[in-house]
């Protein structure tokens, strides 16, 4: 097949990218320095493994007269070097600022929707890879990105055989595109789109698809039944540019805090964000008593289900206890709320399987925003999914830590919090509207203070 249609989730993320909304996801991966982290070495590794992710050589093409939706087609002018960049930071602490600038630019829809930046100039000779891809690219059974394809589970690179034949683009057949549309009556278009959506974000057979749809339906119903989220300074109109901040902490300390308070790791991390907003909202001109609402993934995995493929995840709305001064009580309140939500039959019915992609919340949020119309269901997204706890390597250089970038969506939410645990550490990635005043660096300072009081 020379082209393939987009899933409903792909279409949703593309349609969400209107005005200042930028649906690029990504992250910053920081490695030990070494000869394997030069621009040339990274390019060579990517060139050798790009066949593992054929979507990264495909671009979007609209049907003639836009009689059908866009499709993925091979880019006959694919240029790997267009998607790679090399930068040296002006100061060793400039990585977050660089990520913010990269995430301010929308990807060129005339080309494959991804970029990879090799960034040196960090402290101690470390090198970062900044990955950026459109949310529509992170779908399907594999749900992998450039970063994961580059990595190995040991210092010795995996022996991955080259493809049987060199890559050659398949030409786009506009007639076939239209013919496929003609073969699908308009009365069945919605059902076709829903069927395609069943592939979105699943990492095991398509059984996860119905659960994804049920989860979205559940979120819409729950949001309509509960009061609107409060209006906060985080919910003013969004500008086109972004700032980014990184906060790191120790996973063992987070686990210990959870054990001391009877909460989970997720409860502690969500409570830390509540502690951040308790400090940051008044600086923005709001109030700590507003209790913003977060859209948060929670694990529904039972003890006897451990070891099964994937994580059973549902999305819930959590009222963040920003008006509570005691950090341990904040954890207890978050824990009680998530336990009650996880125990409800409706939320369990809305659970779906997902692998370690880390991008479930913005995906569901994107669908939710379109379904809810003008209803303000939540104030921000907190995306936390556990990452691998064993080290990974690139050309023998160890990946030290990584922080995620979760896109800001919709146009009236000015902050997202991505959280990734990896190899004994936890990294928060705060993406914010560049015009937030005080800027996201103040939010990062507030988060550090909240973590100190909670984990100290």
In CATH, what number is assigned to the domain containing residue 247?
3.30.559.30
Helix (H, G, I), strand (E, B) or coil at 21: coil
pLDDT tens digit string along 313-332? 677 889 999 999 999 999 99
Is the same domain home to 235 and 123? no
Of 195, 216, 231, the one marking the end of a domain is: 195
With H, G, I as helix, E, B as strand and everything else as coil, classify residue 262: coil
**pLDDT tens string 86-136:** 999 999 999 999 999 999 999 999 999 999 999 999 999 999 999 998 887
Per-residue pLDDT tens for 380-394? Answer: 989 887 778 889 999
Distance (Å) of CA 376 to CA 85, 216, 223, 228: 38, 15, 8, 5
Pick the last residue of a domain from 163, 195, 227.
195
Cβ atoms of 357 and 203 within 8 Å: the answer is yes
> What does the alpha-carbon distance between residue 121 and residue 108 come to, in Å, rounded to a whole number?
27
The token duo for 407 is: 């896109």
Residue 345 and residue 347: Cα distance in Å, rounded?
6
Of 164, 195, 226, the last residue of a domain is 195
pLDDT tens for each residue of 71-83? 889 999 999 999 9
Distance from the Cα of residue 352 to its chain's centroid = 17
pTM of the model: 0.85
Q: Is 449 exposed, middle or buried (0-12, 13-18, 19+ CB in 10 A)?
A: middle
Please report, for residues 10, 115, 128, the alpha-carbon distance to residue 5 in angstroms, rounded to integers and kept in the order given.
9, 22, 34
CATH number, domain with residue 100: 3.30.559.10
3-5 β-sheet, strand order: 3-5, 71-74, 58-61
Instruction: Please tell me which of 49-58, 229-238, 269-278 the model is most confident about, judged by mean pLDDT.
Output: 269-278
- pLDDT, tens only, 167-178: 888 764 444 433
Q: What are phi and psi of 447, to 5 degrees?
A: -65, -40
Together in a domain, 275 and 253: yes
Q: Tell me how many domains the chain contains.
A: 2
Q: Which residue has the tokens 């996201």?
A: 440
> Residue 306: which pLDDT band, with cuts at 50, 70 and 90?
very low
Average of per-residue pLDDT across 386-404? 91
How high is the pLDDT of residue 355?
Answer: 45
> In this structure, what token pair is assigned to residue 133?
């891809």
Residue 374 has pLDDT above 70, yes or no: no
> Looking at residue 368, what is its pLDDT?
54
Look at residue 190 and tell me whether its pLDDT is greater than 50: no
Structural domain for 41, as ranges: 3-195
Alpha carbon distance 392, 397 (integer Å): 8
């Amino acid at each position: 097949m020379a082209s393939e249609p987009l899933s409903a989730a792909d279409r949703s993320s593309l349609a969400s990218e209107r005005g200042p909304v930028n649906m690029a996801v990504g992250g910053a991966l920081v490695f030990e320095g070494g000869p394997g982290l030069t621009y040339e070495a990274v390019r060579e590794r990517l060139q050798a493994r790009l066949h593992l992710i054929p979507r990264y050589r495909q671009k979007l093409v609209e049907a003639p007269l836009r009689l059908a939706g866009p499709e993925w087609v091979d880019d006959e002018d694919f240029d790997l070097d267009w998607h790679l960049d090399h930068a040296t930071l002006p100061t060793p602490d400039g990585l977050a600022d660089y990520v913010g600038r990269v995430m301010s630019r929308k990807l060129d829809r005339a080309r494959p929707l991804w970029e990879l930046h090799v960034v040196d100039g960090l402290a101690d000779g470390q090198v970062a890879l900044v990955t950026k891809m459109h949310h529509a690219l992170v779908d399907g059974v594999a749900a992998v990105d450039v970063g994961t394809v580059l990595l190995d589970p040991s210092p010795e690179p995996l022996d991955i055989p080259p493809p049987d034949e060199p890559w050659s683009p398949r030409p786009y057949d506009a007639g076939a595109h239209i013919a496929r549309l003609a073969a699908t009556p308009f009365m069945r278009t919605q059902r076709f789109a829903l069927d395609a959506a069943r592939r979105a974000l699943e990492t095991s057979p398509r059984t996860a698809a119905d659960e994804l749809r049920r989860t979205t339906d559940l979120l819409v119903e729950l949001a309509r039944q509960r009061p609107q989220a409060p209006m906060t300074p985080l919910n003013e109109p969004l500008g086109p540019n972004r700032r980014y901040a990184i906060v790191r902490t120790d996973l063992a300390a987070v686990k210990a805090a959870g054990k001391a308070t009877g909460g989970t790791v997720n409860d502690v991390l969500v409570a830390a964000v509540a502690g951040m907003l308790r400090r940051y909202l008044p600086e923005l001109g709001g109030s700590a008593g507003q209790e913003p609402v977060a859209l948060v993934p929670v694990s529904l995995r039972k003890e006897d289900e451990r070891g099964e493929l994937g994580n059973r995840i549902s999305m819930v709305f959590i009222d963040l206890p920003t008006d509570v001064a005691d950090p341990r009580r904040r954890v207890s309140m978050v824990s009680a709320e998530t336990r009650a939500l996880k125990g409800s039959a409706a939320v369990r019915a809305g659970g779906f399987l997902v692998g370690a992609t880390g991008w479930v919340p913005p995906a569901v949020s994107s669908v939710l925003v379109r379904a809810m119309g003008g209803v303000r269901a939540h104030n921000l997204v907190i995306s936390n999914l556990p990452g691998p706890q064993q080290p990974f390597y690139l050309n023998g250089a160890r990946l030290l830590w990584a922080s995620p970038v979760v896109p800001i969506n919709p146009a009236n939410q000015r902050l997202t919090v991505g959280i990734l645990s990896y190899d004994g550490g936890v990294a928060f990635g705060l993406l914010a509207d560049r015009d937030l005043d005080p800027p996201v660096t103040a939010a990062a300072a507030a988060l550090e203070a909240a973590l100190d009081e909670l984990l100290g």
